[in-house]
Amino acid sequence: MTRTVASLLALTSIAAAALAAESPAFEVASIRAGQPGRESIEYVPGSVTMRNMRLTACIRWAYNIPDFQISGPGWLSEVWFDINAKAGTPAKEAELRLMMRTLLAERFKLTVHRENKEMSALMLTVGKNGHKLKQVETEEQPSFKTGKLNLTGKGATIAQLIEFLSRELRHPIIDQTGLSGRFDYFLDIAPYFTEEMQRNGGPGGGPPPDAPGIVAQALQAQLGLRVDAKKATVEMLVVDTMEKAPTEN
């Protein structure tokens, strides 16, 4: 019996090592303590540079999900890091995200699992009079820029729009538009925001409570997209283990 258990443990270790070896990884990476401030991330084929990133934000980027889909201890949003990582090849964004997962697992001992949770969500659909997005055919990189209470997409996707709005509203948005492809669009919510709303904000530095309604008005009027609040099942990424400090560079 003891030999059987030992054999199973050995096989498990071998399988884990093999899986780690198959996971794409950066060739070199430096992780240093950051500080509260403006988070930023820049990436080009083969490298990623993060500044003042909370661990929650690092996980968000690695798994390409918004904050509200991450469930874990509160301190994940209370520690900041600067990360400079380079691949051995000019890897594209999707592979860089996989490499970041490997980095977080190796240096912070991150382990996760996924589970479904029912919560209030915003359903995005096309309005009864049709959408006002301009579909474009382009091979160029999508451009998605934000200004003060506005955003501009050039050859961008609906997914990019939803990702940004979900993060800013701290609320899940489910795409039910059926729109694929790339679009040019501009959304300006400034006309709907009073000075009092901008001044007071919401709890914890978040958006004001009526922000979803304001964004819904702008989406309907400017892009022909409708927003309705409903209950939905959302897949969550649950952090099982993670260390506050990374292993040494």
A 10 A CB-CB count for 206 gives 13
Position 33 in a domain: yes
The mean per-residue pLDDT over the stretch 199-217 comes to 72
Confidence at residue 206, expressed as pLDDT on a 0 to 100 scale: 60
Judge if 146 and 222 occupy the same domain. Answer: yes
Local confidence band at 20 (pLDDT 50, 70, 90 cut-offs): very low
Judge if 69 and 151 occupy the same domain. Answer: no
Is the predicted pLDDT of residue 205 greater than 90, yes or no? no
Q: Among 108, 135, 170, which residue terminates a domain?
A: 108
Give 162-204 pLDDT, tens digit per residue. 888 888 888 889 899 999 889 999 999 888 877 776 666 555 4
Confidence at residue 122, expressed as pLDDT on a 0 to 100 scale: 92
Q: Which long-range contacts (CB under 8 A, 24 or more apart) does 68-72 make?
A: 68/166, 68/170, 68/171, 68/172, 68/234, 69/172, 69/234, 69/235, 69/236, 69/237, 70/236, 70/237, 70/239, 71/117, 71/236, 71/237, 71/238, 71/239, 72/238, 72/239, 72/242
Give 70-82 pLDDT, tens digit per residue. 999 999 999 999 9
Judge if 120 and 217 occupy the same domain. Answer: yes
Judge if 74 and 122 occupy the same domain. Answer: no
Position 15 in a domain: yes
Position 166 in a domain: yes
Judge if 140 and 94 occupy the same domain. Answer: no
Residue-range definition of the domain harbouring residue 214 = 116-235
Judge if 100 and 132 occupy the same domain. Answer: no
How far apart CA 88 and CA 24 sit, in angstroms, is 10
**What average pLDDT is seen over the chain?**
86
Q: What percent of the chain has pLDDT over 70?
A: 86
Give 116-138 pLDDT, tens digit per residue. 999 889 999 999 999 999 999 87
Judge if 60 and 102 occupy the same domain. Answer: yes
Give 92-115 pLDDT, tens digit per residue. 999 999 999 999 999 999 999 999
Give 145-169 pLDDT, tens digit per residue. 888 888 999 999 898 898 888 888 8
